[in-house]
A and B are shown apart, each in its own frame.
Chain A
Amino acid sequence: MPEPSAPDRTDYLQQVADRLPFDDAQKVDILRELAGHLADSTAHLERQGLSTAVAERAAVERLGPAERLANELTTARHTPRRLLAAAGAGTLAAAGGVIYGYLFAALALSGTSIAAFVVGSYLHWFGPSTGDGLDGSTITLVALGVGAYVAARRLTLTVAGRAGYHIRLARRATALVGGGLVLLYALVGWRGALNWPEVGILLSLPAWFVVGAWRASDLRFPSPKWRLQVIGLAFVVVLAALGLGFNQQANGEGSGGFHPTGVEKLGLPTPDAILAATLSEGIAATATGSTQVFIDISDRSLLAGWTDFRIEAWPGSVQAGSDPGLAGLVDPAAKAPFAVEPAYLEAGPQSNEGGPIPPDGAQLSGAVTTDRSPGVRLAWIALTGVGPDGHRYILEGPSFKSTTFNGTAFDWLSAVISGR
């Protein structure tokens, strides 16, 4: 079987070029050098008496197969220093990409939101609760998604170009490693008040990144078409946010003698003797975000035989726009409190309100955290205990408190899985 003939000089250089994973400038440099070498080598062989065609083929053969030469040229550039430099340049490019993408998307979203608000208000589209535009966290998260997309594109292109890896390999590596890091950030790195659309956007950040890495190409980026796409996305997000009413928050907190519908689920009314002996009572938010409930009583013997004192938080609901203290109800579907913590009876020298507690008196207090349950927007909080007759009584409250989930996406998922 005859040996396959060597390709001519142009074909050979094209075959080498096709296999080099470098940017255009580097490729041109390498190909110019190889073309010069082939010209010199051909001229030398011609001087030895070979015809031009034969000399050219011989010169190509002396350089070896195009694939092997391209592989060796590529491998020669895979030095640790080069990889390190590429990683550094890639990190800088990614950081710049996050900032660019974030600012561009945040501006587009804010601008769209303001425009929608102005137009909507003029046309009386919205009620007052959605009138002031998108929630800041939502804008931030969507803008971060765009930032992750731009960062992944820039990171992939920079690493591929600087380290001399083929774009396909760089895409896979960037998507896998970067996507994993972004997922980690999405799960535990972002902490704050979250609602379910925000958790959805947060958990989509790795997808934004992976799509960005996968779409990395040598095309100029960001292109005008890309900018239009982001502005289009901003319109969709703003309209979706307005439609879902992201900005509707519950209505503060309060305490006092409100008795929501369904209060009997919490326990029987406070016994008159304890009511009469109560010196002071209160519900207050603590610095750690939990809610403390206390009562000071003048005669602790009234609580002799009582057990299982605890602070309970029950899910509540309220008609939109109404005062939960007047129109609130304990969630009819709720069969148990969503958060429970023990309360403690202590003989204290001083009440929470600063006044002294008599020697026979005591303070009953505890605290409960209500911002770890994704589905709860309104909580009814009460201090309860089991009396000597075996029935549970309400000793203080209930008081309403609007609440928003506060934590990481991982906390959110854990809470949903555990049914909180």
Chain B
Amino acid sequence: MSRSQLLKGTTTLLILAVLSEEELYGYEIAARIRERSGTFIDPGEGWLYPALHKLELDGALEATWRESEIGPKRRYYRLTRKGSRMLAAQASEWESFARSVHQVAGGLADA
């Protein structure tokens, strides 16, 4: 399975997770995910803005235009209460899923 296919199912979780720490704008979100994953998750950024806008329309994120540290205005995203609940639910689901996958296929990479 390609990384981009794996990424599709986890986009929302990744965005919500990095935004749970602080407000970020689009490029920073992509960069933060790339850094945290040790560049393992780096499929390009075309997926990012559609996902951000959908989360905003769903009420999980709020966005405001603000001056950035490097100059021009950027659109900062912040987790809402609904977004926090969504993150908790998705994180729990992902934990269960990852554990189950590991139980079935764990150790095969060493074989």
Chain A: residues with CB nearer than 8 A to chain B? 29-30, 32-34, 36-37, 39-41, 43-44, 61-65, 68-69, 72-73, 75-77, 79, 81-82
The 6 closest A-B pairs by CB, nearest first: A64-B46, A72-B50, A40-B27, A76-B54, A76-B50, A62-B44
Which of A33, A39, A62, A79 has the largest number of chain B CB atoms within 10 A? A33
How far is B54's CA from A81's CA once the two chains are assembled, in angstroms? 11
How far is B46's CA from A263's CA once the two chains are assembled, in angstroms? 87
Which of B26, B47, B53, B73 has the largest number of chain A CB atoms within 10 A? B53
Q: Which residues of B contact A77 (CB under 8 A)?
A: 53-54, 57
Q: How far is the CB of B78 from chain A (nearest CB, A)?
A: 15
For window 70-94 of chain B, which residues contact chain A by CB distance below 8 Å?
Answer: 70, 72-75
> A33-B26, A37-B26 are contacts. A72–B46 as well, Cβ < 8 Å?
yes
For window 7-54 of chain B, which residues contact chain A by CB distance below 8 Å?
Answer: 25-27, 31, 44-47, 49-51, 53-54
Interface residues on B, range: 20 to 34
A63 and B46 contact, CB distance less than 8 A: yes
B27 and A41 contact, CB distance less than 8 A: yes
Of A40, A69, A75, A82, which one neighbours B46 at CB under 8 angstroms?
Answer: A69
A73 and B72 contact, CB distance less than 8 A: no
A81 and B57 contact, CB distance less than 8 A: yes
How far is B43's CA from A63's CA once the two chains are assembled, in angstroms? 10
Q: Which residues of A contact B54 (CB under 8 A)?
A: 76-77, 79
Chain B: residues with CB nearer than 8 A to chain A? 25-27, 31, 44-47, 49-51, 53-54, 57-58, 68, 70, 72-75
How many A-B pairs fall under 8 Å by CB?
Answer: 65
Which residue on B lies nearest to A38, using beta carbons?
A: B27
> A77-B57, A79-B58, A82-B57 are contacts. A37–B45 as well, Cβ < 8 Å?
yes
Q: Which residues of B contact A32 (CB under 8 A)?
A: 73, 75
Q: How far is the CB of B61 from chain A (nearest CB, A)?
A: 12
Which residue on B lies nearest to A82, using beta carbons?
A: B57
* 13 pairs, CB–CB < 8 Å, chain A vs chain B: A30-B53, A32-B73, A36-B26, A37-B45, A41-B27, A61-B44, A63-B45, A64-B44, A65-B46, A76-B50, A76-B54, A79-B58, A82-B57
Q: Which residues of B contact A44 (CB under 8 A)?
A: 31
B25 and A62 contact, CB distance less than 8 A: no
Which residue on A lies nearest to B43, using beta carbons?
A: A62
- 13 more A-B residue pairs beyond the given contacts A63-B46, A79-B58, with a C-beta to C-beta distance below 8 A: A29-B75, A32-B75, A33-B74, A44-B31, A61-B44, A62-B45, A62-B46, A69-B50, A76-B53, A77-B57, A79-B57, A81-B57, A81-B58
